Chains A and B, each alone.
Chain A
Amino acid sequence: MSFYAIGKRTARKDSVAKVTGWEKYASDIYLPNMLHARVLKSPFPHAIVKKIDTSRAEEMGAIVVTFKDVPDKLFCPRLVSTPDATYKDWKVLTDKPKFVGEPIAAVAAETEELAQIALESINVEYELLEPVFDALESMKEGKPRIHDKIMLNDKIIDIENNVACRLELQEGDLEEAFKRSDIIIEREFRTSRGYHNQLEPKVAVVNPEPDGGLTIWCTTQTIHNTRLLISEIFNIPVSKINVKKLALGGGFGSSIQTNIVVPIAVALALKARRPVRLAYTKEEDMHEHSSYQMIFRLKIGVTRDGKLTGGFMENIMDIGAHQIQAYPLLGTCAGWWVSLYKLQAIKYVGVAIYTNKIPSCAYRGYGNPQVTWAVETIMDELAEMLGMDPIEFRLKNYVGERDLFWGQGPTVKSIIKSCGVEEILKKGSELIGWKNRPKPGEQKGRFRRGIGMARGYHTSSAGAPIPSQVIDYSGAILKVNEDGTVDYITGLVDQGGGTLEAHAKIIAEELGLPLKNVNIVAADSQTTIYDVCTHASRGVYAGGGAALNVARQVKEKIFKLASTILNAYPHTLRIRPDEERGQAVIYVEGLPGKEITLGELATLARIKNLGTIAAVDSFRPPACPPHFTGYFVEVLVDTETGIVKPLKVVIGADVGTVINPDLAEGQLHGGFIMGWSRAILEDLKYNEEIGDIECRGFIIDYKMPTAADIPEEIKTFFVETYEPTGPFGAKGLGEGAQNPAIAAISNAIYNATGVRFYELPITPEKLLEKLKEKEGRKLAVEDAVKLT
């Protein structure tokens, strides 16, 4: 298919602002007469506040709020599930802290330094409770209870054995499937706990308005859910709360929920009746959100001819001290699993367990990278046991076109209509040199190369043909200006991936506009219609669908209006971009000269009192089509230090129509490096003695790769497919860009060394230990330069 705007390499509209320092992030908002806030956090992982004395802070003139000053109401900071599937166990400030870093009180003062001094004057007496840090321990009988009662929607429910929520699924006859199997493999996997490490720490600036309302500038992936939640907690009419849309300094899931800084700043601003700025530091940010740690038990059967039969999966998720919608995650983890490969019978048991740790929230992939790591490890093992080529084995079993797909969980099902898996695997294996890869574990010598691959996918949005337990729709407003440009107004937040740039191209394509004529204008929750959130790789697919939807409506109105002015039937009209005039031109096909520019049309419409050409509408995506990716990685393992280096990386992707090629490549680059880091480096380990993360929030000890740690080149390619439900055939990418990375790296390490890992991350320490175990105490030194 040939496009005019789509698929072209263009500079993104926000890039000039971003390279010149003009772009405004929430952390760049300073208001006149503003107070600066600091938060008092629990130094204990599990305690009860017996007494809190804030008098000295107040004597200093600081505004102080404690758990006594905030609404005594349980809430869930993330609003994506329907209310009947929403578990609520949070308070803005608590008197029963459940993790080190949980907010107890907050102060606001004229400067941050004064706020800090006031904060340090607050005296708190704690009664200590026994903490529990391991999910498997926590769910045992007789362990300390982290929550007694929480809410499910508007009902109070009891929590037993720290089980926050659970989900069990069963389809087909698993016993029979296992009976038919020639090989049954069973493995236990333990993932790490990751920190998003987005560059911008969480921040909220709140201005109390004279009508009792609030204006809020904050880090968020969803301005509409932020305003709904603040309304719910503080009982302020939703219409009086306005949340501004700003550039976001990286999200990766960490602002899917309303960050705790927002309600805390609101509480302070309401009390102070002055604007309040609460900016977390990196250390506080790291105590605000982390990823889930998951323990999987996975059992899969296969017949001798390489057909998978059935599978059992147990998923025990350590969710930390609070739920940020762990329940839908239990569903998606099942979905990620069963939608990778065809299994005729399945059983799934998912349990979310409370521990006294930092609350876990979504983190790029929403459990998919973890599940894919487990499944793709097992696929590699099975292929080897069967004596089959791992790629062939995958092609024999993958879920593809016309198959039922329920990546987003059991209530979000649809049929796959576009799929480029085969081409990804074929082309990728050629580019990496798959045929010439070493045999696992056969190399000798200090430095060993290994090639590994893994494939995966992610859903594009959580849309479906029918309602489900997940809310998913976007909204857009489009209006034509008298200069022939259009203003695109959306509540959808661009986390940085360039989603809005894709929308601009979609609009330009549909309206025949020069791309520069699409204005992405400033917006907030008052001037936009509802958009659920920038998550689930939905920005281009669902948000872009909403943009296309209004563009179509505007186009229809343009033709209707032009038909009267050009005196031609609407269905004979066409629209084309005229780069020379810098305008879209509406013309009658076959009649040269019978044409009008969009600017002229809009101007005439005004003069003739015909109104503004505009459209506003919501758009519910009819499916959540998977975008597919395949990773091929060559690594070099130093068997004397356990250090692994990436040598060559090839990534293939099927994202339907590619709208922004350079930004799509950028997603794959960033996805690989993040996956690399999750595979070999990152882990928020807990130090049980202090009850806090070992690194205490300092990124000096929570490392991520630098420019000097990456492969020289990442070769990317896109296979051509067309998703019929997507805008101009497009699907999402953000999460599929990372999902199989960990698995491919882990498989490459196995290929190099013959050592399998069932625990992440694969640090040099762990790898060296395994290698020494395998090969005896003293490794061969034949590679060392002879020293004579």
Chain B
Amino acid sequence: MRADYVNLVNTHTVPVRFMYHSPETLEEALRLMREYGGEARVMAGGTDLIVDMKLRRKEPKHIVSLNKIRGIEYIVEEDGGVRIGANTKLRSIEKNSIVRERFEALYEAVRSIASVQVRNMGTLVGNICNASPAADSAPPLLVYDAVVKARSIDGERKIKIRDFFKGPGKTCLKDDEIVTEVFIPYPPGDSASTFFKISRVSMDLAKVNIAILVKLSSNVVEDFRIALGAVAPTPLRIPKAEEYLRHKPLNEENLNIVEKIVSEEIKPITDVRSTEWYRREVSKILVRDALNSTIKKLVRT
């Protein structure tokens, strides 16, 4: 194997030439995506795409910027949940009171993404479309059963977030589709959710991240959802753990079993950020810590 990248990356420029399209309507953007398909890339915040181009991982011939399209930057409550538009910046999401109050795990996750600068530029939709196995927004969206709305010139498609990720950098989107919105249903009443992350420093990609959602009825778990990131080719829910704990009391014995299930269900690897062994080990303690923190929230309310 040769390290050819040493001569390709990085420069102070974007050494990729492309046609820049800045449509003013979504319809125009969709038409452009139909026309240029696989040769085009949608740009919202640009924080991932520009890096990918600087590092020569992507060399699109066309960039379709969503910058000038009006009406896709919103956070609104509707139909039993919240709708977040494609142009909505991560920073607006963390500052939104609905998100902070009703979607704690998403709020905590968004705040932990990169830096203020990046969150001023990047969008939630961009974060999931980049499909990093470590995307911090993914575990919360997974536990909330979010729905991704993708449009092409032919119409709209609703994709369950669970079906959205297909592998590192891969989604189920077609070449001519643009994600216009993420819909996040309200979590069940009297539930609480938490996001945790372990990383090398406080501005970093996760070694492991986790989101859980719990609803208790006296001491019995009524609803339990759990998702982890950076421990498999895609962020993933752990249905086995969820099924096990449902309708059971929260005690040390059950918790141990849930931890064990999680550590068996994940498929971590060793990479530059951490080791397979460590990821498996801390996944367990993250389950415990996230549960503790969530229970505390439930007790508080």
Residues of A at the B interface (CB closer than 8 Å) are 38, 40-44, 100-101, 111-113, 116-117, 119-120, 279, 281-284, 287, 640-643, 681, 685, 689-692, 694-697, 700-701, 703-706, 708-709, 764-765, 768-769, 772, 781, 784-785, 787-788
The 4 A-B residue pairs with the shortest CB-CB distance, nearest first, are A708-B202, A640-B285, A43-B2, A43-B3
Cα distance A368–B200 in the bound complex, in angstroms: 26
Cα distance A38–B9 in the bound complex, in angstroms: 11
Cα distance A282–B8 in the bound complex, in angstroms: 13
Given contacts A100-B6, A787-B252, whether A113 and B15 have CB atoms under 8 Å apart is yes
B234-286 CB contacts (< 8 Å) to partner A: 249-252, 255, 272-275, 277-278, 281-282, 285
Residues in B neighbouring A772, C-beta threshold 8 A:
281
In the assembled complex, how far is the CB of residue A449 from the closest CB belonging to chain B, in whole angstroms?
19
Residues in B neighbouring A641, C-beta threshold 8 A:
198, 282, 285
Cα distance A182–B82 in the bound complex, in angstroms: 73
Cα distance A318–B22 in the bound complex, in angstroms: 53
Does B19 sit at the interface, judged by CB under 8 A?
no
Residues in A neighbouring B2, C-beta threshold 8 A:
43-44, 690
Q: By the criterion CB–CB under 8 Å, are A768 and B7 in contact?
A: no
Residues in B neighbouring A708, C-beta threshold 8 A:
201-203
In the assembled complex, how far is the CB of residue A708 from the closest CB belonging to chain B, in whole angstroms?
4
In-complex Cβ contact of A706 among B203, B272, B282 (8 A)? B203
Given contacts A706-B201, A765-B274, whether A281 and B3 have CB atoms under 8 Å apart is no
Residues in B neighbouring A784, C-beta threshold 8 A:
288, 292
In-complex Cβ contact of A787 among B13, B250, B282 (8 A)? B250
Residues in A neighbouring B157, C-beta threshold 8 A:
none
Given contacts A116-B15, A787-B292, whether A700 and B278 have CB atoms under 8 Å apart is no
Q: By the criterion CB–CB under 8 Å, are A279 and B285 in contact?
A: no
Over the window 199-215 of chain B, the binary record of Cβ atoms lying under 8 Å from chain A Cβ atoms (1 yes, 0 no) is 01111110000000000
In the assembled complex, how far is the CB of residue B6 from the closest CB belonging to chain A, in whole angstroms?
5
Can you report 13 residue pairs joining A to B where beta carbons are below 8 Å apart? A43-B4, A113-B15, A116-B13, A120-B8, A281-B11, A690-B1, A708-B203, A785-B295, A787-B252, A787-B255, A787-B295, A788-B219, A788-B251
Chief secondary structure at chain A's binding surface: loop
Does B300 sit at the interface, judged by CB under 8 A?
no
Cα distance A728–B66 in the bound complex, in angstroms: 64
Residues of B at the A interface (CB closer than 8 Å) are 1-13, 15, 198, 200-205, 219, 249-252, 255, 272-275, 277-278, 281-282, 285, 288, 291-292, 295-296
Residues in B neighbouring A287, C-beta threshold 8 A:
6
Task: Contacts A43-B5, A111-B13, A769-B278 known; list 17 others, CB within 8 Å.
Answer: A41-B7, A43-B3, A116-B13, A120-B8, A281-B11, A283-B9, A640-B285, A691-B3, A696-B5, A704-B201, A708-B202, A708-B203, A768-B278, A768-B282, A785-B296, A787-B250, A788-B219
Residues in A neighbouring B200, C-beta threshold 8 A:
681, 703
Chain A, residue nearest B274 (CB): A765
Cα distance A99–B110 in the bound complex, in angstroms: 40
Q: By the criterion CB–CB under 8 Å, are B201 and A703 in contact?
A: yes
Chain B, residue nearest A687 (CB): B272
Cα distance A690–B5 in the bound complex, in angstroms: 11
Q: By the criterion CB–CB under 8 Å, are B11 and A787 in contact?
A: no
Q: By the criterion CB–CB under 8 Å, are B296 and A764 in contact?
A: no
Q: By the criterion CB–CB under 8 Å, are A781 and B203 in contact?
A: no
Cα distance A696–B8 in the bound complex, in angstroms: 12
Cα distance A695–B273 in the bound complex, in angstroms: 9
Q: By the criterion CB–CB under 8 Å, are B11 and A116 in contact?
A: yes
Residues in A neighbouring B4, C-beta threshold 8 A:
43
Given contacts A113-B11, A695-B272, whether A768 and B201 have CB atoms under 8 Å apart is no
Q: By the criterion CB–CB under 8 Å, are A781 and B12 in contact?
A: no
Cα distance A222–B295 in the bound complex, in angstroms: 60
In the assembled complex, how far is the CB of residue A43 from the closest CB belonging to chain B, in whole angstroms?
4
In the assembled complex, how far is the CB of residue B215 from the closest CB belonging to chain A, in whole angstroms?
15
Q: By the criterion CB–CB under 8 Å, are B3 and A690 in contact?
A: yes
Cα distance A689–B270 in the bound complex, in angstroms: 15
Residues in B neighbouring A640, C-beta threshold 8 A:
282, 285
Residues in A neighbouring B9, C-beta threshold 8 A:
281, 283, 697
In the assembled complex, how far is the CB of residue B265 from the closest CB belonging to chain A, in whole angstroms?
19
Q: By the criterion CB–CB under 8 Å, are A696 and B3 in contact?
A: yes
In the assembled complex, how far is the CB of residue A566 from the closest CB belonging to chain B, in whole angstroms?
60
In-complex Cβ contact of A709 among B13, B202, B281, B291 (8 A)? B202
In the assembled complex, how far is the CB of residue B242 from the closest CB belonging to chain A, in whole angstroms?
17
In the assembled complex, how far is the CB of residue A380 from the closest CB belonging to chain B, in whole angstroms?
27
Chain A, residue nearest B203 (CB): A706
Chain A, residue nearest B12 (CB): A112
Residues in A neighbouring B5, C-beta threshold 8 A:
43, 696
Centre residue among B4, B7, B202 by max chain A CB count within 10 A? B7
In the assembled complex, how far is the CB of residue A106 from the closest CB belonging to chain B, in whole angstroms?
11
In the assembled complex, how far is the CB of residue A94 from the closest CB belonging to chain B, in whole angstroms?
14
Cα distance A691–B1 in the bound complex, in angstroms: 9
In the assembled complex, how far is the CB of residue B127 from the closest CB belonging to chain A, in whole angstroms?
16
Given contacts A706-B203, A784-B292, whether A43 and B278 have CB atoms under 8 Å apart is no
Cα distance A117–B8 in the bound complex, in angstroms: 10
In-complex Cβ contact of A112 among B11, B282, B292 (8 A)? B11
Residues in B neighbouring A709, C-beta threshold 8 A:
201-202
Q: By the criterion CB–CB under 8 Å, are A769 and B201 in contact?
A: no
Q: By the criterion CB–CB under 8 Å, are A43 and B296 in contact?
A: no
Q: By the criterion CB–CB under 8 Å, are A41 and B198 in contact?
A: no
In the assembled complex, how far is the CB of residue B250 from the closest CB belonging to chain A, in whole angstroms?
5
Q: By the criterion CB–CB under 8 Å, are A43 and B288 in contact?
A: no
Chain A, residue nearest B292 (CB): A785
Centre residue among A642, A706, A765 by max chain B CB count within 10 A? A765
Cα distance A697–B11 in the bound complex, in angstroms: 13
Chain A, residue nearest B202 (CB): A708
Chain B, residue nearest A708 (CB): B202
